Amino acid sequence: MKLQRIKAVAKKEFLHIFRDPRSLGLGIAIPMLLLFLFGYALTLDVDKVPMIVWDQSSTHASRDLISRFSGSRYFLLKRYTDNYRDIERAIDRRDALIALVIPADFARKIETGEKARIQAILDGSDSNTATIALGYAESVVLSYSREVMLEQTRRHGVLSSVGQLDIRPRLWFNADMISRNYIFPGLIAVIMMVIAALLTSLTVAREWETGTMEQLISTPLKGPELIIGKLIPYFSIGILDLILAVLVGQFAFDVPLHGSLWLLFGMSLVFLTGALSLGILISIVTKNQRMASQLALVSTMLPAFLLSGFIFPIDNMPLVIRGVTHIIVARYFVTILRGIYLKDVGLDILAGEAGFLAVFCVVVLGLAMKKFKKKII
């Protein structure tokens, strides 16, 4: 391979990108748009759950319990009611996700030490949110119950044998339990995978459709030189996208980067090379821009979103699907990014994932070079 030929191909591709605003938009504007769109819109946090209350007791004890809910950041007390019909209507209209019904004998049972029951009615149409909201409600009630028990113990001077276990959880790596800190690193991997493959999936196919491939074939240019020369401009765009993504995460979304910036960029460059090579391979095989773009979307976006662990936990998937995820390269890069961002781990922990990225990069780039033939079929 000659460096001069590679530089000539890279210069040609750079000129095409700069002369075509759509290519620049696809390479830079769309990743930034997706970062901000998903960064603001996609969240797994459940805050300010709208709540409606029917307080049949209307006592100090019931008002104290209600204040625990309204004082929490997880619940937003919308209004009070005095019948089930309003509760049903509020949940049907999604004015409330949870309804709290406190019976009339609530305070009396609390005073006498009996088991006091309250009713929580939730909108189960969104099962994930309902499950999380129910967990929050149970936590509030458990805290209230513990305080009532301690108060009764102090009042009667008797040490209760129940509730002596004091659990104080300590969260590592994402102490504030902010889903954005967990989602954003994976989002970088998904966007880089999709955009990189889309960018390069059109390059060789475009040469065939415009008729310039015949001119390239007639030159002394070799296949590997053509492929590497075409990768260089999009590799530069990918590096720029990565830098912008890290800056957006740091300054726009306050996503902390606990690990090594150098390791982050090193692993990202390996992944970027593999993703770009995959796009080149698709472009070489299809020789058609429309088919290449569609195949690139199917082979990158769907696996990256659904099977990489970006949103859906892999451990919760069926056994067969979990097996399929082992060949999805985005899965390993998502693990690497989250490990660097959240846990500050190095290659001693991420060696397996890093090795898979390296193998993927070499294999796909090698396949692209092997599949490209300097002849008209």
Q: What is the pLDDT of residues 275-307, one digit of tens each?
A: 999 988 888 888 887 888 888 888 888 888 888
What does the block give as tokens for 31? 């990743």
Residue 161 has pLDDT above 50, yes or no: no
Confidence of residue 151 (pLDDT cuts 50, 70, 90): confident
DSSP 56-109: SS-SHHHHHHHHHHHTSTTEEEEEE-SSHHHHHHHHHTTS-SEEEEE-TTHHHH
Separation in Å, CA 11 to CA 6, 18, 142, 262:
9, 11, 67, 28
State the total domains in the chain: 2
Q: What is the per-residue pLDDT for 83?
A: 92
Tens digit of each residue's pLDDT (9 = 90 or more) over 238-281: 899 899 999 998 898 888 888 999 999 999 999 999 999 998 88
Has residue 363 been placed in a domain?
Answer: yes
Question: 331 and 192 in one domain?
Answer: yes
Better-scored residue on pLDDT, 75 or 202: 75
pLDDT at 165: 57
Whether residue 93 is contained in a domain is answered as: yes
- What's the confidence (pLDDT) of residue 76? 92
Report how far residue 345's alpha carbon sits from residue 336's, in angstroms, rounded to the nearest whole number.
9
Q: Is the pLDDT of residue 12 over 90?
A: no
pLDDT at 226: 86
Same-domain pairing of 80 and 97: yes
- CB 138 within 8 Å of CB 173: no
Give the pLDDT confidence score for residue 225 in this predicted structure: 86
Q: Is residue 275 part of a domain?
A: yes
Highest mean pLDDT among 8-12, 66-70, 302-306: 66-70
Q: Could you tell me if 295 and 206 lie in one domain?
A: yes
Residues 34 and 75 in one domain: no
- Both tokens of 282, joined, read 């698709």
pLDDT band (50, 70, 90) for residue 362 = very high
* Domain CATH number, residue 114: 3.40.1710.10
Is residue 119 helix, strand or coil? strand
Which residue in 182, 155, 162 sits closest to 44, CA to CA?
182
- Report d(CA 303, CA 299) in Å as an integer: 7
Query: Do both 196 and 83 map to the same domain?
Result: no
The residue-averaged pLDDT of 353-376 equals 88
> Is residue 103's pLDDT more than 70?
yes
With both helix axes pointing from N to C terminus, report the angle between 261-286 and 329-338 in degrees, rounded to the nearest 10. 160
* C-alpha–C-alpha distance, residues 87 and 377, integer Å: 70
Residues 268, 358 within the same domain: yes
Residues 189 and 68 in one domain: no
The verdict on residue 376 lying in a domain is: no
For residue 54, give the DSSP letter: E
- pLDDT computed for residue 126 by the predictor: 77
186, 295: one domain: yes
Query: Given a cut of 70, is residue 163 above it in pLDDT?
Result: no
Residue 214 has pLDDT above 80, yes or no: no
Give the pLDDT band (50/70/90) at residue 360: very high
Three-class DSSP category at 328 = coil
Decide which of 266 and 127 is more confident: 266
Whether residues 207 and 321 share a domain: the answer is yes
Summarize the confidence of residues 196-210 as an average pLDDT. Answer: 79
Choose the final residue of a domain: 156, 189, 214.
156
Residue 180 has pLDDT above 70, yes or no: yes
Range of the domain at 341: 3-43+179-371
List pLDDT tens digits, range 302-359. Answer: 888 888 888 888 888 888 999 999 999 999 999 999 999 988 899 999 999 999 999 9
The pLDDT mean for the chain works out to 85
Q: Which of 160-174, 182-196, 355-369 has the lowest mean pLDDT?
A: 160-174
Judge whether 365 lies within some domain.
yes
User: pLDDT class for 63, splitting at 50, 70, 90?
Assistant: very high
Q: What is the pLDDT of residue 377?
A: 60
**How far is it, in rounded angstroms, from Cα 366 to Cα 143?**
60
Residue 173 and residue 343 in contact, taking contact as beta carbons nearer than 8 Å? yes
Please answer whether residues 219 and 4 qualify as being in contact, where contact means their C-beta atoms are separated by less than 8 angstroms: no
* 72 and 190 belong to one structural domain: no
Are residues 328 and 228 part of one domain?
Answer: yes
The verdict on residue 226 lying in a domain is yes
